[in-house]
Amino acid sequence: MVLSEIEFEPDDRYHAFLTICRKAPCGDGKLAGIAVAVKDNISTKGIETTCASKILKGYVPPYDAHVVELLRQSGAAISGKTNMDEFGMGTTTENSAFGPTLNPADTSRVPGGSSGGSAAAVAAGMVRMALGTDTGGSIRCPAAFCGIVGLKPTYGRVSRFGLIAYSNSLEQIGPMANTVSDVSLLMQVIAGHDRRDTTSYNQPYRHTPDADIRGLKVGIPQEYFGAGVDPTVAELVKHAIFRLEELGATSVPCSIPSMEYALAAYYVTCTSEASSNLARFDGVRYGPAADTKKSWHDAYRDVRKTNFGTEVRRRIMLGTFALSSGYYGKYYAKAQVAKENVKKDFARILADVDVIAGPTMPTIAFTLGEKSDPLSMYLADILTVPANLAGIPAISVPCGKADGMPVGLQIMGNHFCDERVIDVAYAYEQAVVS
């Protein structure tokens, strides 16, 4: 039942939105009257969905993603579609075909990516909650950079039906908000089984955050405080872990040897899957119409060259190479072995501890244009991609500021232990604000 409409103002300052629903209907339910922004790679019936790419400019889905159906049923007001790195490929939201999003904490800096628009919309107070997607850190990175809370749920706990695919085996839709309680509330709405998603599990979320973490064991991997992690960031996170100890938790040193190969395994896997998934954007089924006077090969090449951005083309080519004859065994097959080793390492550690903690990102938010070479941008994902490879839940919660910019504490847990991860984040958050 529609109760009313909420009006939303244009976003002229941060470019967090690509599309704003000036008048959004809202109804009765858990999210009655609450404004929720939706990342622009999640299908919304009747609302343009572009993945921040020129190749999908003007595309209006004829159906809602499962999570959007649940939002509408819960009474939420969908405020619009948020900016992102094109097709989710990036760590800064600078790879959008329609211009970058700015970080509300400092507009000379990036908000993180690829869900940078969702994070910025929440951090700037434009919405109370948002949906993002996380393939290798794309919820947690912008949450850390913008100073909000972001959860990558266990793989399969939230339906991916209606998510425009980038890397099927890694990506997950998840909640973003200013508080752990609001992340938990949004998770109550979006989690659960969906028969249209064959990777979906029947694991609904009906949890209320609990700040009592007495007796919990927190694993502290040495690799999360090694080379490349800014010393100030490391100290802030260590102090946050000390606060968890003050609340009754016990820290346990541990090691994840497979971290050495995690980043390479991630980029081989995700680019290979992107090469396959993005083949559908051919100027026939999707994208601007191809020039039928040209040969199919030339028309296909021209549509993709003109309408895909540089980073998307780069990843498609990398993935095509990794899957090509003679190289599949050298790259993709080896990446899957490394992925299994990451899973085994996390399973081994989480058999002895309740959660694992460390920094979300190795540095604070970059300045606009700072990560101009692809390798330095890829290296920024080193602390977030392992959770995607393992398929486990991971949350980023603010734990202070370095040089005036937010820093995120990352908490990871075992499969389908999202509730425990949320409890630890909530305990820390409450200890800081009280």
Q: Which residues are catalytic?
A: 39, 114, 138
- Do the beta carbons of residue 185 and residue 32 sit within 8 Å? no
Give the C-alpha separation, 35 to 171, whole Å: 24
State the helix-helix crossing angle for 259-277 and 310-323, rounded to 10 degrees.
100
Decide: 218 and 357 in contact? Cβ < 8 Å.
Answer: yes
Q: What angle do CA 38, 43, 49 make, to 5 degrees?
A: 80
Characterise 261 by phi-psi region: left (phi > 0), alpha (psi -120 to 50), beta (else): alpha
User: How far apart are the C-alpha atoms of 167 and 329, rounded to whole Å?
Assistant: 19
> From CA 16, how far away is CA 82, in angstroms rounded?
6
C-alpha–C-alpha distance, residues 158 and 174, integer Å: 7
What separation in angstroms does the CA of 234 have from each of 240, 251, 399, 400, 427? 10, 15, 11, 11, 20
CA atoms of 183 and 128, how far apart (whole Å)? 10
Sheet holding 355-359, edge to edge: 17-20, 77-82, 35-39, 129-134, 172-177, 149-152, 394-402, 405-413, 355-359, 217-221, 250-254
Contacts of 204 (CB under 8 A, 6+ apart): 191, 192, 193
- Name the token pair of 58: 């003007």
Structure tokens at 176: 């973003």
- Distance CA(331)–CA(388), nearest Å, equals 19
Enter the tokens of residue 162. 């209606």
H or E element that contains 20: strand 17-20
Output the six-digit token pair for 226. 């090694």
| 117, 93 contact by CB (below 8 A) | yes
Comparing CA positions, the residue from 196, 190, 195, 109 lying closest to residue 145 is 109
